[in-house]
A and B are shown apart, each in its own frame.
Chain A
C-alpha cells in the first residue's frame, strides 16, 4: 500500500490488452461494408458494361440517399433512446401536403409553408413522445397508432395530390452543386450536426444514457421523459423535412405515394445496418449515413442492372439480415470469449509469462491468522 498503487484487478493479462477505443466498434466496420458494397457493385456493373461511378449514377445514389437520410437521422435518435418511430412515412406525407397546400404556388408563402409542414410534424412528434414517455405506451404501438390516425385523416381530406409548390421551392428538390444534389448536401450537414449533438452535447449524452439504462439515467438526475420526447420531436421534424423534399420533387403534396413507400422500415433498416443497437444505448448518426448509402448504392445498382423488383426485395432482405448477423458476431465481447487453450492442441496458448494474480503478503496473513496481526 505504501506505493499507493492498486494493482490490476481481475486478470491483469486481459485487462492490459483492452485497447483504448477498440478499433472494432461498428462504425468503421460499416464503412468497410460500404466500401465492399461499392467494389462489388462496381464490378457487377462493369461486367454488364456499365459504370457505377458515372455522374448519373452518383447523382442517383445521392438523391435516393438524401430522402432516406433525413428520416434515418431522426430514426437514429429515437432508436438510441430505446424507442422507435413507425409514423415517419405518414408524417412525411402529412408534412408534404400541409406545406404544399399552404404554399399554394405563391413564392412569398414558402417560409410559411415550410414552417407549417415542420410545425405539424413537430406536433406529431410531441404526441408520440408524450404518449410513449408519460403514458408508458410502447413506442411501437404509439407510433403505429399515430401513423394510422394520420393515414385516416389524409385519405379522407386529401384523396389525391393537393396544393402546389412554387418553382423557387422546387429547386430544393432539383438543384445540384456539381454532382451533389442540394438536398443531399443539406442532409449531410444535418448529419454532421447530429454527430456533434450526440458526441458533444449533454442532450446527446442523455440519449445514450436513457437508451442504455433508463433507471441509471433517472438516478443520475436525467429527466428521461424529456429526453425521449425530444428524440421523438426530432425524428418527426426530420420526417417533415423529408416530406418537404418530396413535395419539392413532386411539385405538389401527396399522401399514399409517400406513406406506402416504406420509409418507416427502410429507415429502421438503415439505422440498424449502421451499427446502432435496436435496443438503444449504442450507435450513432455516422453509421446510419453509411447504412443509408449502402441501401442507396444497392437500389441504384438494381435499377441499372434491371433486376426484377420483387427479387430486389429478396436481395435487400438477405443483405440486411446478413449484415446484422455479422455485427452480432463481431460485437461479442472479445475479452470474454478469448480462448485460453487452443481447440486442438493441449498446449498453452497464452504462455506469455503472465503470472497468475497473487494475493499480497498481508492478505495471506489476514486469511491465516489472528486479527491482531493486521494492525499496522
Chain B
C-alpha cells in the first residue's frame, strides 16, 4: 500500500454517542483521520456508519462526545455549517438540481455577484478552473446536470465539496451506482484529493474498494467501535470476521443437492431493438444465467425487452416452447415472468404503502381472480424470507434496504413465476441479507425455476451463475462457464476479446 505522508491529525472523534427515540445507536465511537488519508468505514447495515457520517455532516447532532477538527472542538448544527467548517459529505442520493447547470449547482446559494447581479461567466470560469485543478476535463461547467452520467454527477458533487475548500470529504457508498470502469475514475479523483492533503472518509460495502483505496479501516458493529486497523495488516477474511463476528467461508452457496438442469424455459433468438442487437441465449429450468457487462451495455435493456417494457423489434422469444412477444409487463407477468427491478425504491415498491399491500401488488393487478388463494401463501413466503417488519401493516419505507428487497421478492414469488429476472438484487443491502438472497436463488432453482441474474458485482455473477452471458455495447460478446475469472469477464465486457468470442 501507499504509505501516506501524514502531516498531522485532521479529525478526532471522541466518545461519540447518539440515540434516536431513546434507543442508543452509537456507543462511544472514537475515530481519527489524518490529513491526506483515505479512511475506510465498514460494517454491516445498521452498524452505525451512516449515523457517524450524518453527525459529522451536521445532519444529526451528537448526544455526547466531541468532534475536533485541527485540534479545535466543533459542533455542527446544520449541513451548511459543516461545509463551511471544511467537512463535506457526498451522500448516496445526490444533492444536485438536474435542471440547473454544473456551475449553478456548485455555487448554489453563494453565487458570485457584482452590483447585486450574479456573474454567470465568472461562476462558470471558477467552476471550470476548479475542475481543471482536479484534472476533470470531460464536464462542461455550463452543461445541465441532467445531461451528465451518474459518474459525472458524482464528480460534480465532489467538485462542489472542493469549492468549499473541504478538508475532509466523506463519501457514502460512492460506487453503488457506478460501473467498474467509472469506479476507476473515482479512484483517480480520490488519489488527487489525497495529494492535496484532503482526507476522505470512505463508506462502502465493497471490500475490494476498501482495500484498494484506504490507508486505515475502522470497523463498526452494532453501533460500537470494533477496531481501527492498517489496511495492509489485515486480510479481507479477517476484516469480514470483524464486521460480522464470523467468517463467511463460502460466501456464495453451492447449488442444492439434486438441482437438475432441465428443459429450456426461456429462449431468445436474434432479439434486437434500439439498444440491443443479435441477442440469443437460453435459460433452462434449474439454471442461473448471469448477465454481465458495463453499465449501459444493455443488461437492463434485455430485462426490459423480456418484460415488455421496451420490447424487441427484431427476433423472437419463446417461453416453455411457446412463442412469446410481450407488449406490456402485464402480459409478461401472465406468461410467468417476474422482474425484480434495479431501482427498488422507484420501480419496485410503493414506499408509502404497507408490506401486505406491496406484496399483493402484482397478484391483484395482473392476475385478478387468482389472488385470494395465492395471497393466503403470502405470510408463509414472507416468513420464509425472514422478513423483519413490525407487522404486515408497516409501511415499507420504514424497512431497511434488505427487508425492502425481501418484500419485492415476495411479491413476485407469490405469482409462481417460471422465469425470474433479478436486476441488481443485492444492491445496497447488507451482507446478511445478500446471503439470504443467494440462498433463496439456490432454493428456487432447485424447484426448477429459471433465473437470469443481472449484476454489476462480478464476484456475484461469477459465484452464482451456471453460465455468464457477457454484453458489450448492446451485443453479446461472449458466453462463459461459471468458473470464469473476473479478468476474463472484464475483457469480454470491454470488447477486447470480441474476435475470439465470435467463434
Using a CB–CB cutoff of 8 Å, the interface residues on chain A facing chain B are: 1, 4-12, 14-16, 18, 20-22, 196, 199-202, 204-206, 208-209, 212-213, 215-217, 219-222, 277, 281-282, 333, 335, 339-341, 343-344, 346, 348, 355-360, 363-364, 366-368, 371, 374-376
B367 at the interface (CB under 8 A from A): no
Using a CB–CB cutoff of 8 Å, the interface residues on chain B facing chain A are: 1-2, 78-80, 95-100, 104, 108-111, 113, 116-118, 120, 134-138, 140, 142-144, 146-152, 155, 180-182, 184-185, 188-189, 191-192, 211-212, 232, 272-278, 294-296, 313-314, 472-474, 485-487, 490, 494-496
Q: A interface, by DSSP: helix, strand, loop or mixed?
A: loop
Q: A346 CA to B113 CA in the complex, in Å?
A: 53
Using Cβ atoms and an 8 Å threshold, which residues of chain A touch B180? 359, 363
Give, as a whole number of angstroms, the nearest-CB distance from B242 to chain A: 18
- Name the contact of B138 in the complex, choosing from A15, A212, A358, A368 (C-beta under 8 A): A15
**A356 with B495: in contact, given A11-B296, A216-B97, A343-B274 (CB under 8 Å)?**
yes
Using Cβ atoms and an 8 Å threshold, which residues of chain B touch A18? 140, 143, 147-148
Query: B118–A200 contact, CB under 8 A?
Result: yes
Using Cβ atoms and an 8 Å threshold, which residues of chain A touch B232? 371
Closest B residue to A212 by beta carbon equals B97
Query: B113–A202 contact, CB under 8 A?
Result: yes
Query: B184–A341 contact, CB under 8 A?
Result: no
Query: A374–B212 contact, CB under 8 A?
Result: yes
Using Cβ atoms and an 8 Å threshold, which residues of chain B touch A375? 1-2
Highest count of chain B CB atoms <10 Å: which of A220, A339, A344: A220
Q: A7 CA to B152 CA in the complex, in Å?
A: 11
Give, as a whole number of angstroms, the nearest-CB distance from B144 to chain A: 8
Closest A residue to B294 by beta carbon equals A357
**A359 with B79: in contact, given A20-B143, A208-B97, A209-B97 (CB under 8 Å)?**
no
Q: Mind listing 29 A-B residue pairs with CB under 8 Å?
A: A1-B191, A4-B192, A6-B138, A9-B182, A10-B295, A12-B138, A201-B118, A202-B113, A208-B100, A212-B98, A212-B100, A213-B97, A216-B97, A217-B109, A220-B95, A220-B108, A221-B78, A222-B109, A277-B99, A281-B97, A281-B99, A282-B99, A333-B147, A340-B277, A346-B314, A356-B294, A359-B184, A368-B487, A371-B212
Given A20-B142, A346-B314, 17 extra CB contacts under 8 A? A4-B192, A6-B135, A9-B152, A10-B296, A11-B149, A14-B149, A18-B143, A196-B117, A201-B118, A202-B118, A206-B109, A208-B100, A277-B99, A340-B473, A341-B474, A343-B273, A344-B313
Query: A205–B275 contact, CB under 8 A?
Result: no
Give, as a whole number of angstroms, the nearest-CB distance from B359 to chain A: 29
Q: A6 CA to B99 CA in the complex, in Å?
A: 25
**A358 with B486: in contact, given A4-B135, A10-B182, A11-B296 (CB under 8 Å)?**
no
Closest A residue to B184 by beta carbon equals A363
**A205 with B185: in contact, given A6-B137, A281-B99, A359-B180 (CB under 8 Å)?**
no
Give, as a whole number of angstroms, the nearest-CB distance from A8 to chain B: 4
Closest B residue to A360 by beta carbon equals B184
Query: A358–B97 contact, CB under 8 A?
Result: no
Closest A residue to B298 by beta carbon equals A340
**A367 with B100: in contact, given A10-B182, A200-B118, A216-B95 (CB under 8 Å)?**
no
Give, as a whole number of angstroms, the nearest-CB distance from B393 to chain A: 26
**A9 with B80: in contact, given A1-B188, A209-B100, A363-B184 (CB under 8 Å)?**
no
Q: A346 CA to B276 CA in the complex, in Å?
A: 9
Using Cβ atoms and an 8 Å threshold, which residues of chain A touch B142? 20-21
Using Cβ atoms and an 8 Å threshold, which residues of chain A touch B1? 371, 374-375
Closest B residue to A206 by beta carbon equals B109
Closest B residue to A21 by beta carbon equals B142
Give, as a whole number of angstroms, the nearest-CB distance from B304 to chain A: 13
Query: A9–B155 contact, CB under 8 A?
Result: yes
- Name the contact of A10 in the complex, choosing from B104, B109, B151, B274 (C-beta under 8 A): B151
Using Cβ atoms and an 8 Å threshold, which residues of chain B touch A355? 495
